[in-house]
Structure 1
């Protein structure tokens, strides 16, 4: 399999972490949709990442569809989403909150990257931050031990850690471990696994994106 997209993309990272946790071999092609659109288009005509080229040449896009497919490749006891019942509903709730936080972060970043400073809309940025803080508040209160659903790691943990870490890098003044201590502990626990630690974006990539300065701040 070939995974197309940089770790800077949280949804690409979600797929990479999933592949790692499920012990599915893959080749990572860190093509950036903005900087290398022609390379991405060879796999994803809409130039969207992540894209996963399967061993038979077919390509899946959309991280939700991809991780659902990957779960189908492994025995039930290894899957990262519960099959049914209340536990599945709970996992879906948490994944949705984490993905919503990440999407609001992406919109916040678009304001920073795509609009000249004189044309930015502070009320939009404030609204995105408020929504993120509300979503992370729900996730922070949802903790169990050691993972969000209890004994086993799930897609809820993967998406939550990625969203929280991404927001903490871009908005270190607002999304902090002090504000969300349970999420900080969850991220620390996850980073003890190479499945997560091997997919962290390089600081130089973050700086090149314009999302953080040379000191790591916005």
Structure 2
């Protein structure tokens, strides 16, 4: 199977890292939804990254859905999600916040880099920026009170998603989100990025 999409997308990168942690073998095809639009479209007419192209030709979209399917392919003893309902609810809460931070970061990047300056709408950008900060503020409070595991063998979907979201925001929007405002997130993400699976799956 092939994972289609650029690793500079937090959604593609979190999917790739999680699939590696699950022990799944896959080929990564680095296609851009902009620069290689036509080639991407031939694989998936919707042109949505990430796309998982299965061996039988089927396509699966959306990082959360791909990882849900990936969990079913992994060794039963390997999982990145807790089975206990209370722990699982907390994990899903953190993933949702990390995905919101990723989504709002992507929206701001598109607004600043894809839309002509004369067509940018400042009130909307300000609202998205507030949402981005809100997601990181809740994450900062949560992981300060309940630190994420720093044992690489215990990385979860939430830990991966948080670290990847933070790296993307800092790479693309350092002037919007100051790393000094979120010390717990900064320290955890820095630790995660030093781990082998993150280093071999760098943002492009």
TM-score using structure 2 length: 0.90
CA distance in 1, matches of 2:44, 2:80: 25
Q: Secondary structure at the match of 2:187?
A: helix
- Partner residue in 1 for 2:171: 169
CA distance in 2, matches of 1:31, 1:123: 32
CA distances 1:3-45 after superposition (whole Å, capped 9, x unpaired): 1111011111111111211121211110111111222122211
2:10 is aligned with 1:4:
no
- Partner residue in 1 for 2:134: 134
Q: Which stretches of structure 1, 4 residues or longer, exceed 6 Å deviation after superposition?
A: none
- Partner residue in 2 for 1:92: 92
Structure 1 residues 146, 92: CA separation in 2 closer, same or farther (over 3 Å shift)?
A: closer
Gaps of 5+ in 1: 203-218
2:61 is aligned with 1:61:
yes
Contact 1:108 1:128 in 2 (8 A): yes
Contact 2:41 2:47 in 1 (8 A): yes
Task: Please state how far the C-alpha of 1:57 moved relative to its aligned partner.
Answer: 3.0
Q: Secondary structure at the match of 2:73?
A: coil
CA RMSD for the aligned pairs?
2.1
Matches within 5 A, 1:23-172: 23-143=23-143, 144-147=146-149, 152-172=154-174
CA distance in 2, matches of 1:49, 1:146: 27
Contact 1:40 1:49 in 2 (8 A): no
| Count of residues in Structure 1 that have an aligned counterpart in Structure 2 | 202
Matches within 5 A, 1:196-207: 196-202=198-204
Q: Secondary structure at the match of 1:42?
A: helix
- Partner residue in 2 for 1:211: none
CA distances 1:162-208 after superposition (whole Å, capped 9, x unpaired): 11111112221232331111111111121122221222223xxxxxx
By relative contact order (CA 8 Å, sep 6+), the higher-ranking structure is 2
